Amino acid sequence: MLTILRQKPYSKFRNPMTKNSLCALFVLSIFATASIGIAETPQRPPNVLFISIDDLRPELGCYGDTVVKSPNIDKLASRGTLFEKAYCMVPVCGASRSSLMTSIRPRHNRFVGGHIYTSREVPNAVPMHVHFKNHGYTTINNGKIFHFADDSPEGWSEPAWRPRAPGYALQESLDRRVRHQRTWGDVVIDHLIGPAWEYADVEDNFFADGRTLEKSLVDLRRLAEAEEPFFLAVGFLKPHLPFVAPKRYWDLYSAEDIKLPENFDRIPENAPRHAIHPFNELRAYVGIPDEGPIPPEMAKKLIHGYYACVSYVDALIGRLLDELDELGLSDNTIVVLWSDHGFFLGEHTLWCKHAVFELAMRVPLIFRLPGQEEPMRVGTVVEYIDIYPTLCELAGLPEPQENQFQGRSIVPLLRGEIDTEKRYAIGRYVTGDTIFDGRYRYSEFRANRGAGDLLSRMLYDHYTDPRENVNIVDKPEKAAIVEELARELNRVMQLTDPW
């Protein structure tokens, strides 16, 4: 039975006498004592399995997609709570992750780029992993959680671990690599970049994500024997470019499966030039045109590669969750699955992220609580800055310091309660600020990285135009909506804070 929050509240857990229900009771009442047939002793704090996936848009079976094969994430959703309208704060990896891990919003001068350090952007903030470690958790980071492995290192019980693995399997791909240099602020990225896709008949552990899984399985077995609760963060790189995955995942899809999006290579009607970018991230790869549109056949190959990488990571996540079950840890472990931002696959002429359209801002988010027996879908708008306060409430931890959280706990939504307060998702990228209220997405573009004069605006009605194909910001009948959303957007983005 699928419980939908908008229709009726979620309330079913296992029989009250079972161990799982005690864990569920703990999650919902926060450190309440168990009094059903056992001595009154506090329940052990819940573990947290924190799964990050890079560049994953919510194009999965559990989100209604009929092409992408994601059986393991779908299985997690069938035992957990899926958020249909979850949004990142910044559609670029480093800034998004830093905002999520601190529950602090971006500004025109904060959380701007992909290559940033949280510890430099908000040095006085207490990141999530630091807070959990300070409260007795063993905190471990395998793979990519922050953009840089050495960001906020004091919060990990062991040094953050990144796998060493080849980026390509075929000599042909290795031979085609060229040196590419990019500058982000004071950070210079200099590395070799090859073709945008590859498939080879290799094992899962040939690539970095397979090795991240293996390390995480070893850690789970070790943590299962420990007395302290754990916060295990596992960060997978795919489906980030290049779209490289073992051949068997490419073979899951046929050429007939791959369709170009309905709005492929078409800029939204009336969209301002500030909303569109030349997707230089993709153009850096060998074989991609330096300018102009991506040819349709090449686009289909890229989409095929993206899907293959999603299925590859899905298989790894399935093994991770199976191990959690086999070790008996699921009974007292909160699982959170998230991606840093969405992704374009040719829509609006765009590829990658770096824009304030829905496809870059909307993200998958799934929680599975201990003892949850039935799935639930939540249609309420939530933000990624809500994740940190939510995990604190579930674990019984206080706010790390006064007024740090700029998000708010979604535990009531996880309990199946109806949220009657108006919720917005507010984010930004460089010059653009955007707000979504569940129906309308309104965006403003300003000079000076968003701090200067208003340059242009967009408004899309998701009831009539969910793909955001026609900008209706100048329609007279939408003036009141524009005024309301602009007022709320600027109120939030101009709030003063100490960060």
Q: Which of 23, 62, 88, 93 is catalytic?
A: 93
Residue 242: is the preceding peptide bond cis (ω within 30°)? yes
Confirm if 234 and 212 have CB atoms less than 8 A apart: yes
Computed on alpha carbons and rounded to an integer, the radius of gyration of the chain in Å comes to 22
Q: Could you tell me which of 417, 450, 414, 421 has the C-alpha nearest to residue 437?
A: 421
Q: Could you tell me which of 321, 176, 170 has the C-alpha nearest to residue 247?
A: 170
Confirm if 429 and 442 have CB atoms less than 8 A apart: no
Residue 383, token pair as written in the block: 């933000």
Confirm if 306 and 61 have CB atoms less than 8 A apart: no
DSSP 131: H
Residue 423, token pair as written in the block: 């919720």
**Bridge-based pairing state of the strands 333-339 and 47-53:** parallel
The span from the CA of 387 to the CA of 87, in Å, is 11
Is residue 147 annotated as a catalytic residue, yes or no? yes
Residue 242, token pair as written in the block: 């290049």
Contacts 24+ apart (CB under 8 A), 486-495: 486/442, 486/444, 486/457, 488/424, 488/426, 488/435, 489/426, 489/433, 489/434, 489/435, 489/442, 489/444, 490/433, 490/444, 492/105, 492/424, 492/426, 492/435, 493/105, 493/107, 493/426, 493/428, 493/433, 493/450
Is residue 462 annotated as a catalytic residue, yes or no? no
Confirm if 415 and 9 have CB atoms less than 8 A apart: yes
**Which residue do the tokens 């980030």 mark?**
240
The distance of Cα 114 from the centroid of its chain, to the nearest Å, equals: 14
Confirm if 53 and 339 have CB atoms less than 8 A apart: yes
The span from the CA of 423 to the CA of 436, in Å, is 9
Round to the nearest angstrom and report the end-to-end CA distance of the chain.
Answer: 44
Q: Which of 129, 131, 147, 341 is catalytic?
A: 147
Give the active site residues.
93, 147
